[in-house]
Chains A and B, each alone.
Chain A
Amino acid sequence: MSPGDSVAIEDAQITSGTPPPEGAAASIIEGRSPWRLAYERLRRDRASLIALGVVALIILVAIFAPVIAALTGHGVYEQFRSTGLTPDGLPVGPNGQFLLGTDDQGRDVLVRIAYGARISLIVGVVATLLEVVIGTVLGLAAGYFGKVVDTVIARIIDIVLSIPFLLFAISLVSISKPSLTIVIVVIGVFGWAAVARVVRGQVLSLREKEYIEAARALGAGPWRIMFIDILPNIVAPIIVYTTLLIPVTIVIEASLSFLGVGVPPPTADWGTMIAGAQQIYQQAWWYLLFPSAALLITTVAFNIFGDGLRDALDPRAEQLYK
């Protein structure tokens, strides 16, 4: 071998596969980004795909709630005193006209569940996004800057997490009028702390990585490092966490509405419906069962999908959760 050719001697064998680490059965699929790899893994996960399908269905139902109303001919606030209530004034059960029966005011439960899905999803998604954005930014700042910034944010997290959320929400609503915005803000303001704590932990471990030091050695400033070098490496756990947080938020919203401090009537809402059904479920089981089932199916679907997403994004070969 002549001197000088060693600079370019590593040849094209990369296409035939890099060697797997000693003892590990893991190997590397060539030519695909980490997201692509996650997608491939997710595609093989049947339970997650079904869950995703259910989530998509719920979203479609929420979007097309007016269509459902039009098809049935029943408005969401419309009370059918003659056909929707028995002569004793009790709801009627599922029948040809009211597929899922009616509620105590003679309104169509199916239509109201469809409209309720809108509230659940809006609150679930918007409030969760609020939590995640606040939590990520503060978690990033705490983890990256450390020192005083970290101490202050960590104390705020501790305080927020130790306030009894429900009591606070109830008293807040007693001061101002309950509304959708208030519900979202209350959930967002209380929910970010858990996200921030997760993000902070991730950043703390990533901060010590050599590639972060390399970025600093190249002259990258703190904001660039946080958002270009660190954030892409925690996007996966954040996505997973978001997916798992949505059902939690949906349940919290339903709980608030159930307690009468959430979305005010007559807006159709699953929590409000379940609360209303409490009085008469012995006479009208459908009024309790169907909204509860809608809530259960939604949360289970999100949770299964979130779990699948985590498995897909967190193969041992990658260093996401280190």
Chain B
Amino acid sequence: MTTCPSCGHQNIEGVDSCESCSESLTDLHLHEPATDVERSLLDDRISVLEPKSPITVSSNTPVHDVVVMLAERGIGSVLIVDEGKLVGIFSERDALLKLNTEANELGEKPISEFMTADPETLAANAKVAFAVQRMDLGGFRHVPIMAESGKLDGVISVRDILSYLTERSNG
């Protein structure tokens, strides 16, 4: 049997494309996974990383309150959500670059002025390898994960991916 790398369907040996999702299977011989880590990255979907429930604030929250929240909870980012809709993300890197030595003076301004608006998201059923690539490309450390329903499902961090890799490479 040949396992489709895209949807996981078990195909008859020798077919050119997956019977379930039509993905081409002709170049599969090029990337037969060589290690457990490779196989996991290829097969697993983001949902196995168990995205954490996001910490959210509304866009008019004063930036100082958000900074205090990040520091007290020991987290690296918050999502900005207005009326159930994701509108931005604010990370400790944003705090360092945008507030810097003026954190005190700028403290009462709303988080909307400092957040990264319309952040890139990933679908919960996307492959882990895909998440790795997108996070590398965009330089993201946190990515909001959307459920199939289009609702915010959680957040995954680079650290979640590292823990996942550690478990796989020791396994």
Does chain A bind chain B? no
Chain B contact residues, CB within 8 Å of chain A: none
Chain A contact residues, CB within 8 Å of chain B: none
